[in-house]
Structure 1
Amino acid sequence: MASKSTFPKLTPWDETRETLHAYARVLGAIRAAFTPELPRDEHGSLRLYTSGLTTTPIPHPLNTSRNFSLSLDLRNHYVLFSTSEGDVHQWRISEGLSATKLGEQIIAKLAEMDVHGKINQRKFASDRPNNYAFDEAERYFGILSQVGRLFENLSEALPGEKSPVLVWPKLFDLSFALLGTSPDSQILFGFSPAGAGIDGAYFFVSPAPFQQDLLQQTLPTGARWHTSGWQGALLPYAEVADKADTAKRIQDFLQGAYQLQKSIL
């Protein structure tokens, strides 16, 4: 019996992806409202955990001995609201709540805890009902978990200061930054499930500042330079999915693009 690929092909899953992205924006907006400001806007980000994406514990604004957290559980398919007292409330993702409705219901739960704050609801405002397929979400999360491990390993291997590996609700990408010696220089390593003008999921390595002579450099097999909207190296996930050596191909791309770009740091 053939083993199940840890990097399977991503079949069309637009509606499920849009649902997860919409709900991630809800969680990110709430985390940003109650978390002390962090460098590079990290207070509005999410983290990978064993079952999905999470805000990590957020201190109660009136009593820091208490906390709460919000999670997208992609193994059991719930949005979870948990408190340090052991209370748990859950919303089944397949119910199809709009992002606006989900946000309102979470805010009501926060009010029951006497947690009140200025939440930027414009970040997630949408009355569109959401569709969701369990298998599509599980496939995506399986891939994301593997990518997260690759990024953590790469981050440990690279020299210099790095940001954490984070999920960004705004664009729904997983990424970390290798920081340069000046405040404006960095190399961003990431994985996005979709992008404007890009067909399907992709890996990227994006330097700031971008040097135009990079366009003359040859990237690893399957990769190309991207200059529309953002600038850097791009590797479509479809180029490496479901291969015997997928992890190595991804690592070769990340390392190869880094070697070409590291002079900007």
Structure 2
Amino acid sequence: MELFPPIPLAEWQETKETLHRFAQVVGKIRLAASARRNHWWNVPFHLTGRGVTTRPMRDVDGHSVFTIDFDFVDHQLVLATLDGRAKSVPLLGQSVASFHNSTLEALAALGVRVSINIPRPFDLPDADRPFAEDTEHAAYDPVLANRYWQVLSQVALVLEEFSAGFSGKVSPVHHFWHTFDIAHSRFSGRHMDQPPQIDPVSREAYSRELISFGFWFGDDAFAAPAFYSYTAPEPAELTGEPLTPATAHWVARNAGHLAVLPYDSARAESDPRAVVLAFYESAYQAGARRAGWDIAGFAAPGGITDPQLPVPRL
């Protein structure tokens, strides 16, 4: 299988917009049925061998343990309980409204009691429209949906490899359904002071100083898939730091800047994996130097923190 297969935004934008809202339906169930974790780490999806998963959850009564998995091989949403019962909902041929209703009906048939607190999209253009009324978004190309999962899986492995080089507090490598990206973050341990007008979601996400690394599929503001990194809070003169490779660059985004490596630029390299790892490392060094992190103290070469152990040869 090709490493980093092509996935131009224009080719799958309609499928992406539908799938993004499918993911938000399931993600909001995950939000309602999981224990709160720091920085919202309870909320994102994780990768599986066939798609993405919520991981196990518990319903409002605390009796039913269940999971919801997107299967992008057979193109089904699989809802299963700990006692082995399961229901499935087809992904093909569904509008957001029919998917939302079918998913809740499948949970009810399994005896799972859970409800979505705010049954509307989060931070999308149609955020005021309930899922149950969205018949507009109904495009689902199974080939492109499978490609999305392939790309996520390959990027996840690169991020897992990169994450091993840091011994401090780190996030899992996880897929955020609200922004539809996959990301991993490193933390310095320092508390972040935030103005009182910051929304509650962002306050928790950025309560500690961090440098984040990830990949997203493109959006209206940046209409191409790309690898990215940012430092929060952004230190002074960050954009004066060099990035690797030469095709990587700093991009103004909201009130700060992103280090960006276009996906197609990485694909064009002879060793895309090594190029992406080098990009993430250059972005980390840039943010950590400017923010005054203990770079040597946080280092874990080869995933090893004990200086007496040799770095493994793989």
TM over 0.5: yes
After TM superposition, the structure 1 stretch with the greater mean CA deviation from structure 2, 206-215 or 120-129, is 120-129
- Tell me how far apart the structure 2 counterparts of residues 114 and 168 of structure 1 sit (CA, whole Å): 24
Shift of 1:54: 0.9
Residue type of the alignment partner of 1:6:
L
The answer to whether residue 219 in structure 2 is matched with residue 222 in structure 1 is no
The answer to whether residue 53 in structure 2 is matched with residue 54 in structure 1 is yes
Partner of 1:73: 71
Picking from 151, 158, 162, the partner of 2:170 is 162
Shift of 1:68: 1.0
Picking from 207, 211, 225, the partner of 2:231 is 207
Contact in 2 for aligned 1:202/1:237 (Cα 8 Å): yes
The answer to whether residue 280 in structure 2 is matched with residue 245 in structure 1 is no
- Tell me how far apart the structure 1 counterparts of residues 156 and 47 of structure 2 sit (CA, whole Å): 8
- Tell me how far apart the structure 1 counterparts of residues 170 and 61 of structure 2 sit (CA, whole Å): 32
Deviating beyond 4 angstroms after TM superposition, the runs of 4 or more aligned structure 1 residues are none
RMSD: 1.8
Aligned length: 260
- Tell me how far apart the structure 2 counterparts of residues 225 and 136 of structure 1 sit (CA, whole Å): 29
Partner of 2:211: 187
After TM superposition, the structure 1 stretch with the greater mean CA deviation from structure 2, 165-174 or 151-160, is 151-160
Shift of 1:201: 0.6
Q: Could you list the per-position Cα deviations for residues 52-71 of structure 1 after superposition, in whole angstroms to 9, with x for gaps in the alignment?
A: 1110111233244x411111
Contact in 1 for aligned 2:29/2:114 (Cα 8 Å): no
> Tell me, which stretches of 5 or more residues in structure 1 are unaligned?
none
What TM-score does the superposition give when structure 2 sets the normalisation length?
0.78
Residue type of the alignment partner of 1:77:
H
Residue type of the alignment partner of 2:73:
R
Partner of 2:201: none
Residue type of the alignment partner of 2:230:
S
Partner of 1:38: 37
Q: CA 1:116/1:258 → structure 2, altered by over 3 Å: closer, same or farther?
A: closer
Shift of 1:114: 4.6
The answer to whether residue 102 in structure 2 is matched with residue 101 in structure 1 is no
What TM-score does the superposition give when structure 1 sets the normalisation length?
0.91
Contact in 1 for aligned 2:266/2:275 (Cα 8 Å): yes
Partner of 1:135: 143
The share of aligned pairs that are identical, in percent, is 25
Picking from 112, 117, 120, the partner of 2:118 is 120
> Tell me, which stretches of 5 or more residues in structure 2 are unaligned?
123-130, 193-208, 294-314
Q: Could you list the per-position Cα deviations for residues 56-92 of structure 1 after superposition, in whole angstroms to 9, with x for gaps in the alignment?
A: 111233244x411111111211111111122222222
